Structure 1
Amino acid sequence: MEDVTQRLDALVARLAAAGWLTQEPVRAALRGVPRHLFVPPVAWTGDGGRVHRRTDPERWLDLAYGDDAIITQLDDGATDLDTGQGRFTSSLSAPSTVVSLLELLDVEPGHRVLDVGTGTGWTAALLSRLAGAENVTSVEIDPQVSERAAANLKAAGCSPRLLVEDGAQGWAPGAPYDRVHATCAVARVPYAWVEQTRPGGVIVAPYDPGFGSSHEVRLVVLPDGTAIGRFTGYASYMMMRSQRHPEWDDFLSEATRSTTFVDPRTLGYAPAGADLAMGAALPGVRARGIHDGDRYTLRLWGPDSWATARYEPGREVYEVEQAGSRALWDLAVSAYFAWVVQRSPGRDRFGVTVTPDGDHIWLDQPVN
């Protein structure tokens, strides 16, 4: 137990020194909910080898109290975690990202909290410490994940309400909520969360529309049934299952070929503010860069169109391919330079309004 205490103290000290941990209630919750109780017997961060608690307990504890996510599921449970091969579909989130979202949530004792994506149960346990377990409802779409979380929470002495439900629908019987906290990323904020949160209530979630960066978003629900807020920082989480982005495929449609003087890396390496601007101009479009040695290809794709732009060293112009109903490279370039004309605003100048019709991204002031 002394080893656990020392490691927990060191984790708390690192998070505080890095500026992640500033609120005493969150600090107390971290100390009250030992993270190792939520780490599987074989710990793996996605890099390096897997560490077994039985054969290497010291390294296992080091991972438990490090600041890395620990992978707990591959391919929705279809692939054995020991293979190390497959899509990451569930994890124990990194402490710094968990603390960042909890501090944005600003939970008070007695707040009624909806936790979307139970996962290992660690965040539900932290929320139980902050609000009281009787006030926390945690929903998880995967029955096996929920079952393991229940065992973890029991070992930790926490008893929030656990439900196997689709978090995109919230859980109306527990409404109205004072706080909604998501541990999975969303491309669109489910309006059910807004409907089920009382006016003045707060929604905090990782926001990943698919174009480059992903973001923390903090929303406040208004009396008119909308929610409004800003993007506060970076957050990387696994996507909500019902909102997963389509993967790149080998598109068969005939493409139009052209060249461009714009280096594809200009868009591909653009900061978060540019990603928000381009994503708002191209809703439903995903952007990802692929490195091949010193070459770089920017891929853009959506339901009806795709494009690639390729950088190669020594070239003065770069090859572009576009297909479908929209010229995605041309639209992305226009959106990027419109962002430049606006003096390259950062992520913190962008916000979002959530209505029954969807999400509406704005710069500086909400668009009426």
Structure 2
Amino acid sequence: MDLTARMEALIADLDPLGDIRDVVKQAVRAVPRHLFIPDVGLVSPRKTGTAVLIDRDADPTTWWDVVYSDTSVVTQLDDGGTDLREMEGDYTSSASAPSTVAHLLNLLDPRPGHRVLEIGTGTGWTAALLSHLVGAHGEVSTVEVDSAVAGQAAKNLAAAGAQPHLVVGDGAAGCPQRAPFDRIHVTCGVRTVPYAWVEQSRPGAVIVLPYCPGFGTNHALRLVTMPDGTAIGRFPGFASYMLMRSQRGIHDRPPRGPEDKHHLTTRIDPRTIAHAPAGADLAIAALTGLTSNGSGEPDEDGDLYRLWVSDPAEPYSWAAVDWRPDTARYKVFQVGERALWDEVVDAYFRWVSWGEPGRDRFGMTVTPEQHHLWLDSPDHVVAQIPG
């Protein structure tokens, strides 16, 4: 299959419902993705079931097939500490799936002449797409925290003929020397929206980001900056990216003494929480500040579903809740004094009491001090989240 045919197949894949504007599709046509994909990459097991290494030299057909499919490609493990060929480690940089990129660009709606800030350069493909969209009279600044990733992105961008202003630094600080911005496009997940992004935006600017508090599913958030220095918006769907490095939190769980370990039981099936809709996930995350992770792997005792609940700011505080068939009460193992499972259950049933609202009924207001999660109207605040 030649490049033109591959490109058109990709365009069709990223817009099955016809929602993506033509200008975004034209940008995808104008900026070939293969110029931004390394010769060796890793296809996430979330796409295929098992991690797959793609190697342009060893198997060029597969490499080209992946590059021009709606597939994310992992380009870095463990912040560069592990070679991709080992195929094990934390995913810390990637080329996002084209449909996700197109969806977020559609929400952002960059126009010719706009000044745009991108948070998270990655391979550089989105920065090149933004440069095409804003045209010769626009300006794109892009910030990448990893100097090695930024160096490769600069080479990719040069090969594609794109010239955004590339800065190495923590994207949470924005890029004050290039402000004010008309659009801010974020390509890494955030638990809290840095107020610097609001400060560096003109009134009426749009900020689009993956809001990833880490409880259940994650969310796209589209904010508009207001003249009073706040930003307000809603959650128009799903988006999930690797977390911004400065917001990753603490993942280690050191051993604790017997006095810190609690064996409890619950009547609540943990799958009720784990499989709840996105609106519930959003509410629970906002009300508790906790994260979750579920696993359905059987163990030596048979069928098992385990839901982990953690405090991202406190490595000594977590809980595991087990589901097994034909069980009246489910085991809860809790570490630390915070009653994590009780908080999650309480938040879930508060969401139920609100009428089980979907994600699209929630919105967020960002102020210098905190975030307000609201239901239906900014006047109906249901949770306050520290900024």
What pairs with 1:282-297 in structure 2 (closer than 5 Å)?
Answer: 282-283=288-289, 285-293=290-298, 294-297=303-306
**Alignment partners' CA distance in 1, 2:146 and 2:5:** 34
Deviation, structure 1 residue 248: 5.6
**Alignment partners' CA distance in 1, 2:264 and 2:39:** 53
Verify the 8 A CA contact 2:13 2:99 in the aligned structure 1: no
Alignment match, 1:57: 60
**Number of positions where the alignment pairs a residue of Structure 1 with one of Structure 2:** 365
Verify the 8 A CA contact 1:261 1:316 in the aligned structure 2: yes
**Alignment partners' CA distance in 1, 2:21 and 2:28:** 11
Deviations 1:107-136 (A, max 9, x none): 100000000100000000000000136500
Q: AA paired with 1:38? A: F
Deviation, structure 1 residue 14: 2.0
Deviations 1:239-272 (A, max 9, x none): 1000013326255152333221110110111111
Alignment match, 1:185: 189
Deviations 1:48-104 (A, max 9, x none): 432221232222111101111101000101111111111000000000100010000
SS at match of 2:163: coil
Alignment match, 1:111: 114
**Alignment partners' CA distance in 2, 1:245 and 1:129:** 35
Q: AA paired with 2:345? A: V
**Alignment partners' CA distance in 1, 2:52 and 2:215:** 31
Alignment match, 2:27: 29
| 1:173 and 2:177 correspond | yes
Alignment match, 1:46: 44
Verify the 8 A CA contact 2:279 2:358 in the aligned structure 1: yes
**Alignment partners' CA distance in 2, 1:328 and 1:251:** 18
Verify the 8 A CA contact 1:248 1:301 in the aligned structure 2: no
SS at match of 2:232: strand
| 1:243 and 2:252 correspond | no
SS at match of 2:66: helix
Q: Give the TM-score normalised by the residue count of structure 1.
A: 0.95
Alignment match, 1:300: 309
**Alignment partners' CA distance in 2, 1:348 and 1:148:** 38
What pairs with 1:104-143 in structure 2 (closer than 5 Å)?
Answer: 104-132=107-135, 135-143=139-147
Q: Which moved more, 1:252-261 or 1:54-63?
A: 252-261
**Alignment partners' CA distance in 1, 2:324 and 2:60:** 48
Q: Percent identity, aligned pairs only?
A: 53
What pairs with 1:74-85 in structure 2 (closer than 5 Å)?
Answer: 74-85=77-88
SS at match of 2:113: coil
**Alignment partners' CA distance in 2, 1:55 and 1:83:** 16
Gaps of 5+ in 2: 46-50, 382-387
Alignment match, 2:10: 11
Select the residue among 69, 73, 76 that pairs with 1:70. Answer: 73
Deviations 1:146-197 (A, max 9, x none): 1100111111111111111110000001110000001100000010000000
Structure 2 CA distance for partners of 1:227 and 1:186, relative to 1, 3 Å: same
Verify the 8 A CA contact 1:120 1:152 in the aligned structure 2: yes
SS at match of 2:15: helix
Q: Give the TM-score normalised by the residue count of structure 2.
A: 0.91
Gaps of 5+ in 1: none
